[in-house]
Amino acid sequence: MNVWMTRYPGVRGAAGILGVLLVLSVLGGCGGKSDEVQGKAAEGGAQALLPQRVDTKEVEVDFAPPPERLTPLDEARKTIETYEQQVEAEPDNPETPARLMALANLHKQKLLDFQQAAVYYRQVITQFPDFEQLGLAYIQLSDCYELMEDWRSAQMVYREMTERFPEDSQEYLYAVHMQER
Q: Which pLDDT tens digits describe the chain residue by residue (181 residues)?
A: 444 444 445 545 555 555 555 555 555 544 444 555 455 545 555 555 555 565 667 777 777 777 889 899 999 999 999 999 999 999 999 999 999 999 999 999 999 999 999 999 999 999 999 999 999 999 999 999 999 999 999 999 999 999 999 999 999 999 999 999 8
How far apart (Å, rounded) are the C-alpha atoms in residues 81 and 87?
A: 10
Q: Domain ranges in the chain?
A: 1-53, 72-180
For the chain, give percent helix, strand, coil, nearest 5.
Answer: 60, 0, 40
Which amino acid is residue 149, in one-letter code? E
Q: Which residues contact 153 (CB under 8 A, 6 or more apart)?
A: 145
- pTM of the model as a whole: 0.64
How far apart (Å, rounded) are the C-alpha atoms in residues 122 and 125?
A: 5
Please report the pLDDT score of residue 2 as a whole number.
42
Q: Which residues contact 34 (CB under 8 A, 6 or more apart)?
A: none
Please report the pLDDT score of residue 18 as a whole number.
52
Cα–Cα nearest to 151, from 142, 160, 163:
142
Please report the pLDDT score of residue 89 as a whole number.
98
DSSP class of 46:
G
CATH class of 72-180: mainly alpha
